[in-house]
Amino acid sequence: MTIVRDMALDIPTPDGVADAYLAHPDDGEPHPGVLLYMDAFGLRPSLKAMARRLAEHGYTVLVPNVFYRSGRAPVIELPDHIDPSQRPEIFAQLTPLLQALTPEPAMRDAGAYLAHLAASPLVTDGPVGTTGYCLGGMLGVRTAAAFPDRIAAAAAFHAGRLATDAEDSPHRLVDRITAELYFGHADHDSSMPADQIKKLEQALDAAGVRYRSELYEGAHHGYTQADTAAYDAEADERHWRDLLELFARTL
């Protein structure tokens, strides 16, 4: 078993200071860097546990609080078990944060996160990987497009709204991507229905991007998040297998 060390840290960005969490193998050696993008519920104990699990496999994992402009994590108070159907006020609080995180500031932040990884003695030289969940999956795709020389692999799990009619829809950016991509779509996910999946895949094919796009049958939006009502243990373990295979090939 790999011993993992972790720490809280602050990362200067063009717009302020983002609080973040870092996990890495405790062996004194640099390891490939991974930027883990949070879901909409934010930086919290369950995401830190995911970062530590990934670090056990030989990666230095950075988890920024992408809502830092609204406060340090936890930005909103969350129950130990998150079930929005029982707590509708959670999304009422999250919606303004999501709306404020438009692509331009999000990519300014991404540049700061990648610069931190590049400067860290805990990270090997060269490109890094991203893995993102829900909101984070979209941020990972945008980061791969904005920084093609820095991202070797990007995984998105139960990510929504990747191929909409909006002018800034992520699928319109994929011709800029050089990374290998992986998409683990939830079967029951109103934010990423079959027509959007098809539109995304058509854009990826047209751009010649290396990718896998798979449907996790029976899984709901949020299936990787162990502290939520959407959690699906079987789908989560599949996500770990697919993610680790991607990074083993590319990082």
**Residue 104: half-sphere exposure toward Cβ, Cα within 13 Å:** 2
Distance of CA 169 to the CA centre of its chain: 17
Residues in the chain: 251
Question: Is the Cβ–Cβ distance between 64 and 20 less than 8 Å?
Answer: yes
- The two tokens of residue 22 are 């870092």
- Pick the catalytic residue: 24, 39, 171, 189? 189
Classified as helix, coil or strand, 13 is strand
- Pick the catalytic residue: 31, 116, 221, 239? 221
Q: What's the CA gap between 244 and 250, in Å, rounded?
A: 10
Known catalytic membership, residue 242: no
- DSSP string of 32-95, one letter each residue: -EEEEE--TT-S-HHHHHHHHHHHTTT-EEEEE-TTGGG-SSSSS---SSB-TTT-THHHHHHH
Known catalytic membership, residue 134: yes
Q: What's the CA gap between 54 and 48, in Å, rounded?
A: 10
Please state, as a whole number, how many other Cβ atoms lie within 10 Å of the Cβ of residue 206: 11
Type and span of the H or E element at 151: strand 151-157
- Pick the catalytic residue: 39, 109, 134, 220? 134
Known catalytic membership, residue 189: yes
| Catalytic annotation, residues | 134, 189, 221
